Structure 1
Amino acid sequence: MSSNTQNAPNENNYWKRNLIVLWFSTFVTGIGFSMITPFMPLYINSLGNFTKSQLVIWNGIAFSATFLVMAIMSPIWGKIADRRGRKLMLIRAALGMSIVIFLQAFVSAPWQLVVLRLLQGVFSGFVSNATTLIASTAPKSESGRALGTLNTGVISGTLLGPLVGGIIAQYFGYRIPFMITGSLLFLAFILTVIFIKEDFHPVPKGKEESTKEIFRHLKNSNTVLALFVTTMIIQISNNSINPIISLYVSQLMHGSDKVTLIAGVVAALPGIANIIAAPRFGALGDRIGTEKILISGLIFAILVYIPQAFVNNIWQLAILRFLVGISDACLIPPVQTLLTKNTDDQYTGRIFGYNQSFQAVGNVCGPLLGSYVSSALSYSAVFLTTSGLAFVNFFWVFTHLHRKKAKK
């Protein structure tokens, strides 16, 4: 019997309240994580004297370190979540990361920051387990809207965080945001302990299936695997920009003393667009088909990344980054919705764990790709490369979904 069936009598009491609490928790978590985004290269630069190439490489490694470990740990935590429950994993992630990120305020060398970000990856998984908990309890007919709404929490926080971090770093220094981030994650830990309810029924011992058996029993295992790859390419595309966004803003502003603040504003604009668009696209996908939303988002992403390589001033970049937020609203939430609709509820933890693993691989490769391209060519070349990746992803999704429909 699936956990969703077992939860049926209580899900109306649980899932909406959990959605509200987890939306706020993922929102503050997203703010905390992204608060350092605008000034990570500047923070690393303050730890020593580096050439441009050294700075870009250290920055790429620091961005990627967390996700390298996350790629390894996510399936493990997903399996434990299916055995012990998602609430326990939420508690573990929030508390562990609050401590590790707080300590990042006290590093004195880039390698120390990298070590702590590697350790941060060990305690990762708050957002993925929040997604799993909502996906396994929300009614299938409302999964698109529920996951779209939840996704606005983390994405909006992630993309509004740079604005908050930029302001704080501008006036109080680079180390304070790490302390605030640790505090916000501790708040998420407290909210989870007090308010999150889970009527969890694990699979009895001796009846657990291996990952290979789970994929064999999935209704559309090929679709699930295709969605994993789609998630990875989306993350590579989005995160290839992270290592260079503040440096690109600095180049456009010709070294203005307001670079940190303006970089935060520019990085926040996609979050504002996402708050507006994601729930609406989620509900629209429930009506007209989630696949159509995903394909449309990929096409739009191709179109909005290209002109970012040719902007002449900060206002042009700002407008285009706002449009990026609209394309983002059509990408990750639809993928999560399609995974939910193609996965048995009792295995949601492991499936979303593997999806986060692919997401983490994308988060590793994205910053490294952006760092390499910007170092070898230019900042503008990163946006063209990202547009090319969006086209590859569009071709992958379109051909796969077409093949799936042809079989039907």
Structure 2
Amino acid sequence: MTPEPELINWKRNLYIAWLGCFLTGAAFSLVMPFLPLYVEQLGVTDPESLNLWSGAVFSITFLFSAIASPFWGALADRKGRKLMLLRSALGMSVVMVLMGLAQNVWQLLILRALLGLLGGFVPNANALIATQVPRNKSGWALGTLSTGAVSGALLGPLIGGVLADAYGLRLVFYITAVVLFICFITTLLWVNERFTPVLKKDMLSGRQVFATLKNPRLVISLFITTMIIQVATGSIAPILTLYVRELAGNINNLAFVSGMIAAVPGVAALLSAPRLGKLGDRIGPERILVAMMAISVLLLIPMAFVQTPLQLGVLRFLLGAADGAMLPAVQTLLIYNATNQVAGRIFSYNQSFRDVGNVSGPLIGAMVSASYGFRAVFCVTAGVVMFNVVYSWWTLQRKPARIRLPND
């Protein structure tokens, strides 16, 4: 069982976990700017094949992460969350070294799948903090924690691009491995978890996990909400640069302008997540969740009708501010509706749905844009999010989301 929050230094754990999420987010995004270039360097030169291989190499990590997350979540509930953080950071560090040594694209594909299997630092960090922080501070703590991975993901591509240009592609993988090993060391030395291992025979089955929930239907709806949030985010990613080019014409600094427009939602999320998380602690995370999804719909629709990159950038900044509150609100509601005994698995299930959204979102965006044009992607995405607004509001109204637990 996990100890009472006051018996451990949860604030120090939060700051170290934030650093770990930052390093993990940076490490993952360091290699993203040049992943297609690395595929090309490994021998795939035909343009059509390069596009297919690049998409496969990118997506397979999320696919295998979705498959593996429930297993790691069950192990976290049995052995402790800190052990899962250490396993993830060290495992990913080793895989990054092997990626730098890859000799063909098949090896890279297998290693990217292995990266997905061994990942899971961020969901386990969320589970660790969620089970330690006092319930009345959950929204603020999880909102703050979410800014770690976002910050790393924002800085990673910039640093990775500079390093790749200066030192070559393979070296970036080795540097990424070092970053992940630093994450392993900081977690080992400074994260504190008093956890009594649970015998395998005493572990609950998947059916029993849901039987412990007072409102399993609500929890499942939160999983679906997480997936739709990622679908909405990912659907725009494949067409963003092309849409900016359509708006701006053949400008010389297209890559820079597109990069700025791609990055501004993350900056807005950094600013909004802790503040809206704290507001959620006061008025209820369910209200924050539904309100921010509704605002997202109102921001996505005009994106289909903008005439300049500046208009698109402003709307995406506002969208990022709304998006920054959504996943922390979902995670806060999950911990309100689950006991600490099953928190690891609940968060891992949520991660699986998130990964499914990461895989399917870009595919949906690409298919809609190919059939109906770039602007239709924003309308379709708004429709999907609107469905989620109605569905979430209906589910949250059926039964109060906040459940009093013994350590409240």
Give the TM-score normalised by structure 2: 0.88
Q: Which of residues 290, 297, 316 is equivalent to 2:292?
A: 297
Superposed CA RMSD in Å reads 2.7
- Distance in 2, matches of 1:349 and 1:316, equals 41
Cα distance in 2, alignment partners of residues 324 and 170 from structure 1 = 32
* 2:80 is the counterpart of 1:85: yes
Q: Does the C-alpha gap of structure 1 residues 80 and 205 become closer, same or farther in structure 2, counting only changes over 3 Å?
A: closer
Once the 2 structures are TM-superposed, how far is the Cα of residue 382 of structure 1 from its aligned partner?
A: 2.9
| 1:359 alignment partner, SS class | helix
- Which amino acid is 1:198 matched to? E
* In 1: Cα distance, 2:52 partner to 2:28 partner: 20
SS of corresponding position for 2:214: coil
- How far is the alpha carbon of 1:76 from its aligned partner? 0.3
Where do 5+ consecutive residues of structure 2 fail to align? 404-408
| 1:221, distance to aligned residue in structure 2 (A) | 1.3
Q: Find 2:337's aligned residue among 323, 337, 342.
A: 342
> What pairs with 1:160-239 in structure 2 (closer than 5 Å)?
160-169=155-164, 175-239=170-234
Partner Cα distance (1:54, 1:252) in 2: 29
**1:224 maps to amino acid:** V
Contact 1:69 1:122 (C-alpha < 8 Å) held by counterparts: yes
Residues 71 and 85 (structure 1), Cα distance of their counterparts in 2 relative to 1, 3 Å cut? same
Q: C-alpha separation between the residues in 2 aligned to 1:238 and 1:401?
A: 23
Name the stretch that deviates more: 127-136 or 256-265.
256-265
State the AA in 1 paired with 2:192: K
Q: Contact 2:78–2:200 (CA<8 Å) still a contact in 1?
A: no
Corresponding residue pairs, total: 401
Work out the CA distance in 1 between the residues paired with 2:378 and 2:243. Answer: 11
Correspondence for 1:378: 373
Residue 302 of structure 2 aligns to which amino acid in structure 1? P
2:7 maps to what in 1? Answer: 10
Match of 2:393 among 379, 383, 398: 398
Q: How far off is 1:249 after superposition?
A: 4.4
- Distance 1:64-1:167 versus aligned 2 partners, 3 A rule: same
- Aligned partner letter, 1:187: I
CA distance in 1, matches of 2:319, 2:165: 25
Give CA deviations for 1:207-234 in whole Å, capped at 9, x if unaligned. 3221211211212211111111111111
Change (3 A) 1:258 1:104: farther
Kept after mapping to 2: 8 A contact 1:160/1:271: no
Q: 1:242–1:174: structure 2 CA closer, same or farther, 3 Å change rule?
A: farther
Shift in alpha-carbon separation, 1:380–1:101, aligned structure 2, 3 A = farther
**Gaps (5+ residues) in structure 1?**
none
Task: Tell me by how many angstroms 1:147 deviates.
Answer: 0.7
Counterparts of 1:36 and 1:253, CA distance in 2: 28
SS at match of 1:199: coil
C-alpha change, 1:115 and 1:308, in structure 2 (3 Å) is: farther
Q: In 1, Cα distance between the equivalents of 2:372 and 2:167? A: 34
Sort the Cα spacing of 1:218 and 1:405 in 2 relative to 1 into closer, same or farther, 3 A: closer
Equivalent residue number for residue 67 of structure 2:
72
Greater Cα offset, 29-38 or 284-293: 29-38
Q: Distance in 2 between the 1:245 and 1:104 partners?
A: 28
Aligned residues of 1:166 and 1:261 also touching (Cα < 8 A): no
Task: Say which is worse superposed, 332-341 or 256-265, in terms of deviation.
Answer: 256-265
Distance 2:304 2:51 in 1: 18
Deviations 1:93-150, CA, capped at 9 Å, x for gaps: 1111123234444556554443222111111110011001001111111111111110
Q: Tell whether the 8 Å contact from 1:253 to 1:313 is kept in structure 2 after alignment.
A: yes
Percent identity (aligned): 47
- Mark the CA change 1:337 to 1:241 in structure 2 (over 3 Å): closer, same or farther: same
Counterpart residue number, 2:126: 131
Separation in 2, partners of 1:172, 1:374: 36
The 2-side partners of 1:107 and 1:176 are apart by 12
Using a 3 Å threshold, how does the CA distance of structure 1 residues 346 and 325 change in structure 2: closer, same or farther?
same
CA drift of 1:181 comes to 2.7
Deviation for aligned residue 1:328 = 1.3
